[in-house]
């Protein structure tokens, strides 16, 4: 997941949606122990979702916890700093396994 996050940051920079405020917020988040801890937990949850069958009863619990952790992660405050943009990307453009596709679909609407 960390590789995907770095790719996302690269893409935001290349697409011009990241602003100076984006990078300032990211620097603050990297120095914030709460953000770092939440990010580590998100990585654990994402891996677990990748290993979880989409029909498994634990899937909803994992997605709910990921939903709770994300606002405190490295993404904390990032969305509000971005310029508007329109990129033709879809969930299918990301390599997902297990229940990750369901988690991503559940989270996409919350970021828009």
Q: Tell me the pTM.
A: 0.83
Distance CA 68, CA 55 (A): 21
Q: Tell me, what's the pLDDT at 87?
A: 75
Q: Tell me, what's the pLDDT at 2?
A: 61
> How many C-beta atoms lie closer than 10 Å to residue 109's C-beta?
7
The helix/strand/coil state of 2 is helix
Mean model confidence pLDDT for the chain: 89
Tokens standing for residue 112:
């828009």
Per-residue pLDDT band at 5 (split at 50, 70, 90): confident
Distance CA 8, CA 22 (A): 13
Among 4, 16, 19, 24, CA closest to 85: 16
């Amino acid at each position: 997941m960390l590789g995907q996050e770095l790719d996302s940051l690269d893409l935001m920079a290349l697409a011009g949606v990241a602003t100076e405020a984006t990078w300032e917020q990211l620097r603050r988040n990297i120095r914030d122990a709460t953000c770092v801890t939440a990010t580590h937990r998100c990585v654990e949850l994402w891996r677990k979702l990748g290993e979880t069958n989409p029909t498994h009863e634990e899937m909803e619990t994992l997605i709910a916890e990921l939903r709770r952790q994300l606002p405190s992660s490295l993404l904390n405050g990032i969305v509000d700093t971005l310029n508007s943009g329109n990129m033709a990307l879809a969930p299918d453009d990301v390599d997902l396994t297990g229940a990750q596709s369901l988690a991503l679909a559940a989270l996409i609407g919350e970021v828009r």
